[in-house]
A and B are shown apart, each in its own frame.
Chain A
Amino acid sequence: MTLKTEPFVLNVGPQHPSTHGVFRMRATLDGEVVVDIEPIFGYLHRGIEKLAEERTYTGVIPLTDRLDYLSSMANNLGYCLAVEKLAGIPVPERAQYIRVIMAELQRIASHLIAVGAFLNDCGAFMTPIVYMIREREKILDLFDMVCGQRLTYNYMRPGGVSQEIPDEFLPALDKFLKQMPGWIDEYDQLLKENEILLARSKGVGTLSQELAISISASGPVLRGSGIKWDIRRADPYSIYERFEFDIPTGTVGDCYDRYRVRVEEMRQSLRILEQARQQIPGGEFRSKVPHLIRPPVGETYAHIEAPKGELGFYLVSDNSIAPYRCHVRAPSLLNVTALRDLMIGWKIADLILIFGSMDICMGEIDR
């Protein structure tokens, strides 16, 4: 006799402890095994791209803060680069260095959350993420010093940054740079070679190179699959060609590789920060920019290596004070398209783990 069975549809999210925001997955299960999965998003849509068309070029910057709210500085940088390219605004040396310092600090802060949340999804009850939030707090203190904000910074401007860094910032940065390598070693001691972590994440959710390229994945997700592609090297923006750093890559593209790539990237960011700290010159923090920027008619695309991948801004100008069109190429959105291929055939526990290893920010996906 055969019993009648029907597919077990489990609705993971939008309110779920580990969907990192309001992501939703409709998973069809066979026992514990995922047979099919349908990612659903759009719960955080705020119409940022449309709102940008109503504001002045400078007024859009606070909106970019709300894209990937864990890396606002990088979003600011990407947008300001696009405006500068469109309007031909020069950037002083000192401002370039301040921007690089901020962007790299932001990368470390974002990766700390990514790695901590990944380990938390793995089931290490709160400990790793609490440690990493403790360190992220130090970076937020630094940001607080320069712009008075701790999450949505609104710090960079076309042609530089909004204000000079205070005197106490550089000594505080030195202190941070001295302490941070030890902290990264501490995380590695904690879980790097833990048998359970290896068993859970090695070989799980393998993203092949072909798939990674065909979905145009970027950032640590792409590099985890072993492809050496980093916008800072491939198409250097700002002053990145002056710094020495390596591009860490994984080998097979599983969850463990993506986690290791992020940890190694934190080390490389520290290297860049050390160099930028030593080379930072004096001078202006912002070039002379008119209050209302009116770029000539045209269009442009500027991209940066944001913590989560290639963040691009496509701007169209009709010679008015507001962009005619502002499109964001959000790395999280493109990375998330790989989910269905990665998750089918794994268990519910892996589903959460793979999702955590992609490091997705809903603010960026839904915009």
Chain B
Amino acid sequence: MMIFNPDPSSVRQMPTLAPDWPGGFWWHWLLFTVIIIAFVLLLVMGYIWLERRAMGRMQARLGPNRAGPFGLLQPVADALKVMLKEDIVPVNADKIVHLLAPIIAFAPVLIIFAVVPFANGALLADLNIGIVFVVAISSISTLGVFMAGWGSSNKYSLLGAMRNVASVVSYEIPVVLSIAGVVLITGSLSMNQIVLAQEIPFILLQPLGFLIFFIGGCAEINRSPFDLLEADSEIVAGFHTEYSGMKFAMFYLVEYAEALVISALITTLFLGGWRGPILPPWLWFLVKVMVVFFVMVWTRTTLPRVRIDQLMALAWKFLFPLALLNLFITGIEILAWPTAIAWLIPVNIAVMVILVLLWSKLFKLGWGRVEV
């Protein structure tokens, strides 16, 4: 059952390493650094535009439509405005921590893209531990957020930062377990190998894993309905209440860059990465990333926010057991049928539906109160 690529053998024969650039590794490094920075910054602008426009449409209003055609230049105007703003540092703030926080939060997001393939072999470094690298680096952003909350000397900021640490620590576990299912099928930790192994996109082979990764990923980067760390109706603006000017812009950038990371990871791990017919690979990658992000915007406009104890309960009582079960079932399937993969699609989807329904009977959001 070939979903995307008519001839899988042709893909396997392609070189998995980057072509040898004139000048060797350093040219390769320079080129991809530029590509990654441009990609992240441009796509973040695209994301901001897409989110504001899509949200406007869903909320029966227009959204930004003054700057440029369809308001496309709105993010540029926003960036210019924010750079001209006064940079305010609270008197009681820990100045160094306050200054470092946005930088520490932003750097890891760029680093993650070093291992995300934009096309076959087109990545900065094809690490053989690619996905472990991603998991390790992505947690550093939390440190930046907590520094912001602590360094601002504002109670709302501190509350937001506390919530962020709690949610990241809890959601890391189901997320990593759902990645483990993918790694089991692939037999490799390299991101490029994971994409190459997806003759059938893993969303079909690992539907439950995809669900857990999507929910957990949204919770980790604090997208709605898990946006407790900057819940505007409760704790004003959360950890970045005291930030203004360019430092605020950095946090704004981090928020969308993290959404970009999660969409890129979902695309790579579950949606077949850059693979697809007719269109060039990088365009497929872009389209899939945008589709994933659109789903995030959709949920943001639709769902109310969960409470902190419900957030914890969802991680530990719902996602964690399901992720374990998913890993267990995947392991059995791989031991029993190492090759007959296409046949497992309906089985896995049925298993997902049954498990989720069963667990929903046991678990209601308001059912268990977990003290934080």
Contacts and interface: CB of A to CB of B under 8 A. Distances in A.
Interface in B145-166: 155-156, 159
A196 B60 contact: no
A283 interface: no
A200 interface: yes
Contacts of A16: 236
A171 interface: no
A131 B307 CA distance: 24
Given A123-B225, A130-B59, A196-B225, A349 B307 contact: yes
B310 A199 contact: yes
A140 B108 CA distance: 50
Interface string B309-330: 1100000000000000000000
A203 interface: yes
What secondary structure prevails in chain B residues at the interface with A? loop
B372 interface: yes
A196 B305 CA distance: 7
Given A131-B60, A199-B365, A122 B232 contact: no
Contact of B301 (A31, A127, A200): A127
Contact of B59 (A10, A126, A194): A126
Contacts of B303: 123-124, 194, 196
B233 A17 contact: yes
B224 A123 contact: yes
Contact of B307 (A120, A190, A350): A350
Size bracket, chain A contacts: 35 or more
Contact of A32 (B61, B300, B308): B308
Interface in A115-131: 119-127, 130-131
Interface string A77-121: 000000000000000000000000000000000000000000111
Given A16-B236, A196-B225, A349 B305 contact: yes
Interface string B215-240: 00000000011011001111110000
A127 B60 CA distance: 8
A349 B302 contact: no
B59 A17 contact: no
Given A195-B365, A196-B365, A123 B231 contact: yes
Nearest to B231: A123
A191 interface: yes
A352 interface: yes
A294 interface: no
B58 A127 contact: yes
B95 interface: no
Interface residues of B, number: 34
A17 B232 contact: yes
The interface centre, meaning the residue of A32, A120, A121, A202 with most chain B CB atoms within 10 A of its CB, is A32
B25 to A, nearest CB: 45
Contacts of A199: 306-307, 310, 364-366
Interface in B35-87: 55, 58-61
Most A C-beta atoms less than 10 A away, residue of B55, B234, B304, B306? B304
Contacts of A191: 304
A131 B233 CA distance: 18
B269 to A, nearest CB: 26
A196 B304 contact: yes
Contacts of B224: 123, 125
B103 to A, nearest CB: 28
A130 B302 CA distance: 12
B366 A203 contact: yes
Contacts of B156: 10
B59 A18 contact: no
Contact of B309 (A203, A347, A351): A347
A131 B310 CA distance: 27
A327 interface: no
A32 B159 contact: yes
A9 B61 CA distance: 39
Interface of B: 55, 58-61, 155-156, 159, 224-225, 227-228, 231-236, 300-310, 364-366, 371-372
Query: Which 6 pairs of residues, A with B, have the shortest CB-CB distance?
Result: A123-B305, A199-B365, A199-B366, A122-B304, A124-B304, A18-B233
Given A198-B365, A202-B366, 17 more contacts: A10-B156, A10-B159, A11-B155, A17-B233, A32-B159, A120-B233, A123-B224, A123-B234, A124-B304, A125-B300, A127-B301, A130-B61, A191-B304, A196-B303, A198-B366, A199-B365, A199-B366
